[in-house]
A and B are shown apart, each in its own frame.
Chain A
Amino acid sequence: MSIKPTLINMKTIDARGKSCPVPLIMTKKGVAEAAADESLVVLLDNETSAGNVTRFLQDHGMEVHTQREGSTITLTVPRGGAIPEQTDPAAWCTPDPAGTTNYMITIKQNTLGRGNDDLGQLLIKGFINTLPDIDHKPHTIAFLNAGIFLTLHDSPVLEALKKLEVSGIKILVCGTCLDFYQCKDSMAVGVVSNMYDILDAMTKAGKVIAP
């Protein structure tokens, strides 16, 4: 976990000069990269993009403030930021409500544990299919190496992963691994990610579960 004190907790996405839908792609990436309490600032220079990005952020439950200065349109999404000095410490001790937990899962193979492969496949299937039913869900699941096979079209756990993704859990799939196994086109759930994003998520998570 980062222990560096951050005074201005803000991520800026400069999408000026980019035409639709690039600003949206940059915004989506920025949202994924930003910490949960990090405010977002998106800089744009055309109304169409501003409208679409605003809709996108609002559709994802974010509050958007718009400012115009010269040709620049600034969208601000305030998230956390202020140090909650007044907050009752007890509030910080209550368990996280579902969906706001601070742990992630990394899956690095398409089996669970070492031993018989058939058993391993059965176990990983059970593990992932059970995830949608548990109360404290991870905020992110990262798939690496042979783990990426679980995100493809023929995955036995595709439905569960899609359900998790719809409920707002980030599914990161290692792009290098997809390329290596030549199955980028078969990916059916999650976003193609890179080591920076995955490592970033791991370092920011309260704990990382690696079954």
Chain B
Amino acid sequence: MTPIDLLTTCDVGGCSAKLPAAGLARALEGLTATPHPNLLVGTETHDDAGVFRISDEVALIQTTDFFTPVCSDPYEFGQIAAANALSDVYAMGGEVLTTMNIVGFPATVPLEVLRTMLQGGIDKVKEAGGVMLGGHTIVDDVPKYGLAVTGTVHPERIITNAAAMPGDVLLLTKPLGAGVIMAGHRIGEVEEAPCRKVLESMKQLNRAAVPVMQQHHVRCATDITGFGLAGHAVKMASASGVTLKINIEALPVFPGTYKLLEMGCIPGACFRNREFTDPETAYPETISYEQKMLLNDAQTSGGLLICCKPDVAETMRAQLHAAGYPETAVVGEVVQESGYGLVIG
């Protein structure tokens, strides 16, 4: 196969390519809704996926996600794009049922690259216990890949971003800084080992966290992707009518992230996300510029931000460590709505 560096085909990759949240909200404003008695989670709470009840026992979770390359290797990109798309089902507390490919591909790139990329996606879907049904491919200047995913969940065990309760403890299952490290990698400022750590994390499914969440009756969680920890925290706070307090020192961070930020290696998505999150966030005076940017760094296939009861937080943290998320940390708590969606301490 002709070796090709997928990163040479695009300017922004992964969830960094997301349309800014503020602009998206304006664009969606006033769109007609399609209400239905069986619609359990719709568009109004900006949740990770939609949920529709088809019986008293089963609700369908439906979601889609696709983006431009985040890494050089097509197989690895396929795995990451798939893991990222599947993640929304896990953030809703469900299991994956079926998937379909969504592909944009340049006519100038060899078709073996396409096949390798799709194989990466299929292998992840297999790992998720899902079934690949097909897909749709169009010609596009910049490669794009992702999935439309259908999952299932018991209607009473849905996990949303709108159920955070004051008193809940916040857990985060994967480190932050993926966007910064990958941007640094593109410009040759990151060595192989730290970059590899991020790639492995992006490929890792959030699946193993679901049984842990369900065992402890978690009802509120979200996955951290393009809007960064701050963006997704603000969305959760607003959907739940609470304030999230996050301890900046407690956040798990990929090694080397702060060093890159201090160098000025700040992905554009950080600035975009801050336009949306700054008005909703209370920062302490002691916070550094780099720490603000870290909170707003777009993650691709990031971890889950989970709200749990304080008495199970430590058990859950240990179980999540054992389930393959060794960097899981208690990062904050939920308090009564205080005028800001997010308070950093």
Residues of A at the B interface (CB closer than 8 Å) are: 19-22, 24-29, 48-49, 51-52, 55-56, 59-60, 162-163, 165-166, 185, 187-188, 190-192
Contacts and interface: CB of A to CB of B under 8 A. Distances in A.
Given A21-B183, A22-B187, A163-B286, A29 B268 contact: no
Nearest to A163: B286
A55 B262 CA distance: 15
B288 A28 contact: no
Contacts of A27: 264
Contact of A187 (B259, B265, B271, B286): B259
Given A22-B187, A163-B286, A185 B266 contact: no
B288 A162 contact: yes
A85 to B, nearest CB: 36
Interface in B231-289: 255-256, 258-259, 262-268, 271, 274, 286-289
Contacts of B12: 20
Interface string B104-124: 000000000000000000000
B259 A192 contact: yes
A24 B288 contact: no
A24 B265 contact: yes
Interface residues of B, number: 21
A contacts with B: majority SS: helix
B140 interface: no
Nearest to A20: B268
Given A19-B11, A20-B11, A185-B255, A29 B264 contact: yes
Contacts of A49: 268
B286 A20 contact: no
A163 B285 CA distance: 11
Nearest to B256: A185
A-B residue pairs, 6 tightest by C-beta? A28-B264, A25-B264, A24-B264, A166-B288, A55-B271, A52-B271
A24 B266 contact: yes
A39 B171 CA distance: 46
B345 to A, nearest CB: 15
A19 B271 CA distance: 15
B256 A21 contact: no
B268 A52 contact: yes
Given A20-B12, A20-B267, A59-B289, 7 more contacts: A20-B183, A21-B266, A22-B187, A24-B264, A55-B274, A166-B288, A188-B258
Contacts of B266: 21, 24, 52, 56
A144 to B, nearest CB: 18
Nearest to A22: B187
Nearest to B189: A25
A21 B286 contact: no
Contacts of A187: 259
Contacts of B267: 20-21
B82 to A, nearest CB: 26
Given A185-B255, A191-B262, A21 B288 contact: no
A18 B264 CA distance: 14
A184 B288 CA distance: 21
Contacts of B263: 25, 28, 191-192
Given A165-B288, A166-B288, A21 B255 contact: no
29 contacts: A19-B11, A20-B11, A20-B183, A20-B268, A21-B183, A21-B187, A21-B264, A21-B267, A24-B264, A24-B266, A25-B187, A25-B264, A26-B264, A28-B263, A28-B264, A29-B264, A49-B268, A51-B268, A52-B268, A52-B271, A55-B274, A56-B264, A56-B266, A56-B271, A59-B289, A162-B288, A166-B286, A166-B288, A187-B259
Given A52-B271, A162-B288, A21 B265 contact: yes
Interface string B5-28: 000000110000000000000000
A60 B266 CA distance: 14
Interface string B174-199: 00000000010001000000000000
Contacts of A19: 11
Contact of B262 (A59, A163, A190): A190
A62 to B, nearest CB: 13
Interface in B282-300: 286-289
